[in-house]
Structure 1
Amino acid sequence: MALPVKDQIKYWGIAMAVFLVVLWALGDVILPFVLGGAIAYLLDPVADRLQRAGLSRVLAVSIITLVAALVFILLILLVIPTLVKQTTALINTAPALFERLQAGLTARFPDLIEPESTIRQQLQAIGETIQARGGELINGVLSSAMGLVNIIVLLVIVPVVAFYLLLDWDNMIAKIDSLLPRDHVATVRHLGSEIDRTLASFIRGQGTVCLILGTYYALGLMLAGLNFGLIVGFIAGLITFIPYVGALVGGALALGLALFQFWGAVELADGDTVTYATNWLRIGIVGAIFALGQFLEGNVLTPKLVGSSVGLHPVWLIFALSVFGSLFGFVGMLVAVPVAAVIGVLIRYGLGQYRDSLLYQGQSKGR
């Protein structure tokens, strides 16, 4: 005899509450395991495909691990040092960039910005704030959970966890399936497949889109001669999973830096006359790079790699990231998207059940 619905809701509610309490209590302790599990989930289709090609699971996982290690070493040697260097340089040069903006505005609009005007003082304060906050951020990262020792621990534990989870992934799924309540096994399997489809479409697909666009933006901006092009491309690619936000934030940052770099970059002195030469072509190229990237994202990459039936609204993603990030820190931000996907699937299932119920259809259902 099945448990009453009220008892089932009570027990599942208690399980969810325990999960949230454990997530909040453990915090950064479970970070390596969350990252390892995420990596194993992302790479499981690759391992399955290699198995279908005739390789054993152990050999398939070993090949994936070797390739991932080589890629990681290349990133460490080629990309990450430059990325850190550009980030630090951008933070340190922010006041100088704002001073240059002040000088340009003062030269072109002398009546608008006086030496002691409020606008000038605000621009200077913004630059100093960015530098101060940026320095605090870097110091906080180096002295907190992302300190050197913890980074080394992550570099050691995460690959090990990912390797063993990927090796036993199919066995774990089969074990979990065997523990499902028998009265609801069909429903839970259906919801599980919907959740997996949503996560696969969004995380795997959108992750690929972020990687492609981030690489495109970084290379394009660097070839265009924009200072800090790598860090701008990294930022734009990182937040591309929120539609339009990545292009808008990255485009605004890139165009702002382009104006600082190419607006009045050359001064030609003719007696007492100083002429500011603005390289509008370079500025236009930077804008065109992001316009083309937005076109490719909306018309080629997202339809092909993500699809249109994922069902994760940008506002819902921002809300989930904000709530879980504030409650559970960095680990909360990592689990925010999967949890948002799960909740979205459950809400859609609940709405479907509601539309089929007497509460929605009323007496017309029986006619």
Structure 2
Amino acid sequence: MALPVKDQMKYWGIAAAVFFVLMWFLGDVILPFVLGGAVAYFLDPIADRLERAGLSRAMATAVITIVAVLIFTLVALLVVPTLIEQTLSLIDTAPQLFNDLRSFLTARFPDILDQGSTLHQSLEAIGNTIQSKGGEVFNTVLTSALSIINVIMLLVIVPVVAFYLLYDWDNMMAKIDELLPRDHAPVVRRLARDIDKTLAGFIRGMGTVCVILGTYYAVTLMLVGLQFGLVVGSIAGLITFIPYVGAVIGGALAIGLGLFQFWGDWVSLGLVAGIFVLGQVIEGNILTPKLVGDSVGLHPVWLIFALSVFGTLFGFVGMLVAVPVAAALGVIARFAADQYRDSLLYQGTSASTGPSASQRLVEQDAAKK
């Protein structure tokens, strides 16, 4: 006989409270393990494909690890130094860019930018703030990131955790399945599959899209000759997971920088704009349909809200777990809505009885087997 719903809610509520308390107090400690788990989850389908190709799980994990180490080494040696150099250079150049913008607007719109105008004062204040605080803010962010993340722990612990989790992933999933409450196991399995489908579509799919577009933007902008093309491309690719935002922010930043660098060279400016237009065409018609699909189920507003809330409450670790938690809550919310539509509260006492949402899930699982 199953526990009453009231008791089940109490136990699950306690488990959720313990989870959030642990995240609150152990956020910095569990960061390498969260990252390692995310890496293992991301790479598990590749390991499964290698197994189907004839490799053992140990060999598949070893092959993935060797390739990942080679890629990481190449990125660390070739990309990261240039990225840091361009970021520092952009911070140093930003005050001069604002001064050039002010001079440009003053020469062409003298009435708008007189000494007492609001726009003139705003630009002057922004330039002074960047000049006095830009380097300080970057150094503070870098110092805080180093103190929170602890680069040595990330470089050592994350790969080790990812390796062992990837190697034992299928066994861990089997053990977790054995611990599910027997009465609710079919429903939990179905919900878990829906959550995994959402996460696979978003994290794996959008993660791949972000990497491809970020690389495309960075390489093409550097080929065009944009001074800070690597930084702009990296920023645009990083925030591509929010529809249109990555292209809009990256395009505005690239065109803004291009105006100062290529003023009068309209061909180069047109190429910069065309890069982002082509990127949007590729993303909307090729990358997103092929890699993400239409059944992700994570609305951009819900995603931004989850990132904001979890980032504020739990810091960097909260931002890492925001997407999985948002996906899980979205799937559970849809399941709860189905249950509500099957309830007497929605249908009323005159409605004909039929199988509930959870019963339909069990029946669908049985039919698949």
TM-score range, shorter chain: over 0.9
What secondary structure, in the 3-state scheme, does the structure 2 residue paired with 1:181 have? coil
Residue deviations 1:301-339, cap 9 Å, x none? 111110111110000011000000000000000110111
1:351 CA displacement: 0.8
Confirm or deny: 8 A CA contact 1:216 1:233 kept in the other structure.
Answer: yes
Corresponding residue number in structure 2 for 1:29: 29
Corresponding residue number in structure 2 for 1:234: 234
Residue deviations 1:111-150, cap 9 Å, x none? 3323564423321221232344432333223433424992
Write the distance in 1 (CA, Å) between the matches of 2:317 and 2:128.
Answer: 31
Corresponding residue number in structure 1 for 2:287: 301
Matched, 1:94 2:98: no
Confirm or deny: 8 A CA contact 1:243 1:314 kept in the other structure.
Answer: yes
CA gap of 1:33–1:151, structure 2 versus 1, over 3 A, is same
Write the distance in 2 (CA, Å) between the matches of 1:290 and 1:117.
Answer: 34
Residue of structure 2 aligned with 1:315, choices 280, 301, 313: 301
Residue deviations 1:232-290, cap 9 Å, x none? 00000000001111111111111111112222xxxxxxxxxxxxxx2222212111111
Corresponding residue number in structure 2 for 1:326: 312
Write the distance in 1 (CA, Å) between the matches of 2:149 and 2:143.
Answer: 10
Cα RMSD over matched residues? 1.6
Residue of structure 2 aligned with 1:343, choices 329, 341, 353: 329
Write the distance in 1 (CA, Å) between the matches of 2:148 and 2:299.
Answer: 37
Corresponding residue number in structure 2 for 1:51: 51
Q: How does 1:194-343 map to 2 (within 5 A)?
A: 194-263=194-263, 278-343=264-329
Corresponding residue number in structure 1 for 2:340: 354
TM-score in terms of structure 2 length: 0.92
Matched, 1:124 2:135: no
Q: How does 1:134-173 map to 2 (within 5 A)?
A: 134-147=134-147, 150-173=150-173
Q: State the AA in 2 paired with 1:163.
A: F
Higher alpha-carbon deviation: 316-325 or 108-117: 108-117
1:55 CA displacement: 0.9
CA gap of 1:174–1:148, structure 2 versus 1, over 3 A, is closer
What secondary structure, in the 3-state scheme, does the structure 1 residue paired with 2:3 have? coil
Write the distance in 1 (CA, Å) between the matches of 2:131 and 2:306.
Answer: 29
Confirm or deny: 8 A CA contact 1:324 1:336 kept in the other structure.
Answer: yes
Q: State the AA in 2 paired with 1:234.
A: S
Structure 2 stretches of 5 or more lacking a match?
A: 354-369
Corresponding residue number in structure 2 for 1:182: 182
Quote the sequence identity (%): 70
Corresponding residue number in structure 1 for 2:81: 81
Write the distance in 2 (CA, Å) between the matches of 1:14 and 1:129.
Answer: 47
Q: State the AA in 1 paired with 2:58.
A: V
What secondary structure, in the 3-state scheme, does the structure 2 residue paired with 1:365 have? coil
CA gap of 1:307–1:133, structure 2 versus 1, over 3 A, is farther
CA gap of 1:170–1:65, structure 2 versus 1, over 3 A, is same
Runs of 4+ aligned residues of structure 1 deviating over 6 Å after TM superposition are: none
CA gap of 1:284–1:64, structure 2 versus 1, over 3 A, is same
Confirm or deny: 8 A CA contact 2:311 2:318 kept in the other structure.
Answer: yes
Matched, 1:15 2:15: yes
Corresponding residue number in structure 2 for 1:41: 41
1:110 CA displacement: 2.7
Write the distance in 2 (CA, Å) between the matches of 1:196 and 1:242.
Answer: 20
Confirm or deny: 8 A CA contact 1:195 1:342 kept in the other structure.
Answer: yes
CA gap of 1:131–1:68, structure 2 versus 1, over 3 A, is farther
What secondary structure, in the 3-state scheme, does the structure 1 residue paired with 2:186 have? helix
Residue deviations 1:138-181, cap 9 Å, x none? 32234334249921221011000100111111111000000000
Confirm or deny: 8 A CA contact 1:142 1:148 kept in the other structure.
Answer: no
TM-score in terms of structure 1 length: 0.93
What secondary structure, in the 3-state scheme, does the structure 1 residue paired with 2:150 have? helix
Write the distance in 2 (CA, Å) between the matches of 1:185 and 1:315.
Answer: 32
Q: State the AA in 2 paired with 1:5.
A: V
What secondary structure, in the 3-state scheme, does the structure 2 residue paired with 1:366 have? coil
Corresponding residue number in structure 2 for 1:275: none
